[in-house]
Structure 1
Amino acid sequence: MRLTLSPGPPLTFRARLHDARTATAIGRLLGVAMAVCFATGVLSHWLQHPPGWLADRLPSRPYWGYRLTQGLHVTCGIAAIPLLSVKLWAVYPRLFVRPPVRSLLHALERISVAVLVAAGLFELFTGLLNTFQWYPWPFAFVPVHYAVAWLLLGSLLLHVAVQWPKIRDHWTLRSPGTLTLAEADGPDRRQLLLGVTAAVGAVTLTTAGQSVTALGPLELFGPRSPAHGVQGLPVNRTAAAARVTRASPADWRLTVDGPRPFTLTLDELRAMPQYDVTLPLACVEGWSKSAHWTGVRVRDLLDRAGGGPRSRVRVVSLEAVGAYRVMEMGRLYAQDPLTLLALRLNGEVLSLDHGYPARIIAPNRPGVLQTKWVGRLEVV
């Protein structure tokens, strides 16, 4: 008995822009946005969770590096949402081709497209919800988001390889074959691309102010406004959330472990040479803001404890719970003169929500690793 797949009556989509040329035009912009998101996302993940071979090689300069890369990551991710929406609109008639599977190769192609679309939607919308710090799912966001990013990259490369003949034919402004330029790029397509450009521009201008200070006055829909916060700086994790209560300065001690361990009271720490730095606090959610910090250089504390110039440091917080309660800094961070155990913020004693009595501030580093409520430093 032979099973024959009948083509059936063709489905007709009257809109002229459901074609390969429109899909390629939008795909170029979407591909750039996705590439930037992938590169900056992998960098952010490595900065937060560096593999052992990379820990001492991560650079602490430029001091504004993470502010730039994570700002690009979130800004391009938000801009990619309207681009992906239009891309899917341009190609969705292909979902209704008959028969749905013509051959094994065609089946594999459709599966790869399904994986590509699912991974793209997952990455963009979970990333968007992360900027609001809203996690309505049972899995850990960071490792799953990172793993799906590689799945998205693989499916995207496979899709480009399969569709390369069509992409090549429609990449330039002039279409192949007998179509004239006016026929290929008439007013419908130009209006669509103009509308998409306007939408992406509007989304970018009204959200990027959380990362780009100059665009701050235009920020209408950004998840976080850096202009608002305790001591002029937003707070992601409060002392209450970390179960930290304000201790008496007389009771607090900083313990520094190493070949020559020692402890310091808050007054003794304040009596040490104090340094001033201006560094941004840049968070994985995309917002960032520069602030003025005053404190003791971490490398001075490590030297006093017997740590050499190649030593790294482990930082332990007073907080009772939290994924980043214990944090390590590689050698380049620990020895950088800009890395402080900060005691003051913008000329004021640290508030409890900003890490009183002492917190870490270091250049080119994610905000989740700028440990607050420091109780112990360990020479590694």
Structure 2
Amino acid sequence: MVHLPGPLTRLDPARLSRLFTSRLRSPQLTSRLGVLLGAAVAVCLLTGYLSHAIQHPPAWFYWPSRPVNLYRVTQGLHVATGLAIVPLLAAKLWSVYPKLFRWPPFRDAVHAIERLSLFLLVAAALFQVTTGILNIALWYSPMSFFFTTAHYWTAWIFAGSLLIHIGVKLPIVRRALAAPARPAPPTGMTRRGLFAAVGAAVAAITVATVGQTLRPLAGLSVLGPRDPRIGPQGLPVNQTAAAAGVAAAATDPGYRLEVAGPGGTLRLSLAELAALAQHTAQLPITCVEGWSATATWTGVPIRDLVTAVGGHDGHSVRVTSLQQNSLYRVSTLPPPHAADPLTLLALRVNGEPLDLDHGYPCRLIAPNRPGVLQTKWVARIEVLP
């Protein structure tokens, strides 16, 4: 057994916290870090909710089909700010953590509520950052829960506890930001040096990952799990046909696409689809994990198929994949996307027939949509009432 020196064995939590003090810590430092962290969190929460609403739209929600790169920008911001939060959150927690050891832990009922909200805030922040990074890396084995649902509802817990925290601390923050700066410590790191170090960490993390969205920086993004230049036909894939269990059905010579609407049902072979009027569009694939890549797609406009079975531009369209047992087997195109001439049932990409891993024999590609909704290995298209 290892015995601590005599004085340490008698320390209570309050005395222990004083062993880890720094003259850099002050309400002003914490407040400035909090403002920076709050701005990043606001962007992350807003863009994260937007992505969720696009995938699970409430009745009031409207998402346009143009500009075609809008989701690419919003989701890129979500992932970039989520990663930038890591050094900001670490610095903010460092600036206040001695207070977590104060004894007694709360003075009265009001203080107990404040401390509980603080616990929820810190726990939710760490959960969101950790699970977000695991999702970006497509590393789901450490998570025994469905990431999307847990990430979404924990974000609401985080937002609520953050509002309580801001309400409690706002007078302190206002006084701290208005107060004159404290003299810098005579030795060691200065406050300016601390902010420079945090800023450098944010910049390094951003440059090392944002190339997943900004292709010119792809070569510098050494921490990005996806290189947008690498994959079949020059495009990354998250799930192969083998992993999805569709290889046999997708390559079946008897494949027929079923298109159903108020005017009847068509069953079209791949050759019959290729014989229809084709349209070419340059559109990005943008995945929720943060990577995106632009490609040139060629195929049949969805609106032409809708018209062929008696539909019109006001209809929504349900697209179903050959893939079984997937939460994203079915996606729905709202009217703005279904009617957009850039929304295609793609047969070719970058001048070549679709690779099996990119959705052969045909896949959905629509402007301004998450990649998870760009259904691959399409089996059926249905015009909804």
- Name 2:262's counterpart in structure 1: 259
Secondary structure in 1 matching 2:78? helix
In the alignment, structure 2 segments of 5+ residues that lack a partner are 1-11
Give the C-alpha shift of residue 217 in structure 1. Answer: 2.1
Give the C-alpha shift of residue 262 in structure 1. Answer: 1.3
Q: In 2, distance between residues paired with 1:216 and 1:344?
A: 25
Give the C-alpha shift of residue 313 in structure 1. Answer: 0.4
Q: TM-score normalized by structure 2?
A: 0.91
Q: In 1, distance between residues paired with 2:204 and 2:107?
A: 42
| Contact map agreement 1:243 1:321 (CA 8 A) in 2 | no
Q: Which amino acid aligns with 2:331?
A: M
- 1:242-282 CA-to-partner distances (Å, cap 9, x unmatched) read 11125457411111111222111111111111111000000
Higher mean alpha-carbon deviation, 79-88 vs 133-142, is at 133-142
- Name 1:58's counterpart in structure 2: 63
Secondary structure in 1 matching 2:168? helix
Aligned pair partner of 1:130 in 123, 126, 135: 135
| Contact map agreement 1:7 1:99 (CA 8 A) in 2 | no
Q: Does 1:17 align with 2:20?
A: no
- 1:282-331 CA-to-partner distances (Å, cap 9, x unmatched) read 00000001000000000000011001220110011111221111111111
Give the C-alpha shift of residue 352 in structure 1. Answer: 0.6
Q: Does 1:143 align with 2:149?
A: yes
Aligned pair partner of 1:289 in 274, 277, 293: 293
| Contact map agreement 1:249 1:266 (CA 8 A) in 2 | no
Q: In 1, distance between residues paired with 2:373 and 2:381?
A: 14
Q: Does 1:34 align with 2:41?
A: yes
Count of residues in correspondence between the two structures: 367
Percent identity of equivalent pairs: 52
Secondary structure in 1 matching 2:247? coil
- Name 1:183's counterpart in structure 2: 183
Aligned pair partner of 2:208 in 190, 206, 209: 206
Give the C-alpha shift of residue 223 in structure 1. Answer: 1.6
Secondary structure in 2 matching 1:377? strand
- Name 1:159's counterpart in structure 2: 165
Give the C-alpha shift of residue 62 in structure 1. Answer: 1.1
Q: Does 1:86 align with 2:91?
A: yes
- 1:109-137 CA-to-partner distances (Å, cap 9, x unmatched) read 11111000000000011001000111222
Q: In 2, distance between residues paired with 1:29 and 1:215?
A: 25
Aligned pair partner of 2:304 in 291, 300, 303: 300
- 1:337-356 CA-to-partner distances (Å, cap 9, x unmatched) read 11000000110000110000
The verdict on how the C-alpha distance between 1:163 and 1:248 changes in structure 2, with shifts beyond 3 A counting, is closer
Higher mean alpha-carbon deviation, 281-290 vs 9-18, is at 9-18
Q: In 1, distance between residues paired with 2:169 and 2:345?
A: 54
Q: In 2, distance between residues paired with 1:204 and 1:34?
A: 15
Q: Does 1:364 align with 2:368?
A: yes
Q: Does 1:45 align with 2:52?
A: yes
| Contact map agreement 2:213 2:291 (CA 8 A) in 1 | yes
| Contact map agreement 1:250 1:266 (CA 8 A) in 2 | no
Q: In 1, distance between residues paired with 2:252 and 2:328?
A: 24
Secondary structure in 2 matching 1:24? helix
Q: Which amino acid aligns with 1:190?
A: R
Secondary structure in 1 matching 2:299? strand
Aligned pair partner of 1:168 in 174, 177, 188: 174
Higher mean alpha-carbon deviation, 14-23 vs 282-291, is at 14-23
Higher mean alpha-carbon deviation, 65-74 vs 254-263, is at 254-263
Give the C-alpha shift of residue 214 in structure 1. Answer: 2.2
Give the C-alpha shift of residue 360 in structure 1. Answer: 0.2
Q: Does 1:273 align with 2:277?
A: yes
- 1:216-260 CA-to-partner distances (Å, cap 9, x unmatched) read 121111121111100000010110111112545741111111122
| Contact map agreement 1:38 1:149 (CA 8 A) in 2 | yes
- Name 1:3's counterpart in structure 2: none
Aligned pair partner of 1:194 in 176, 193, 196: 196
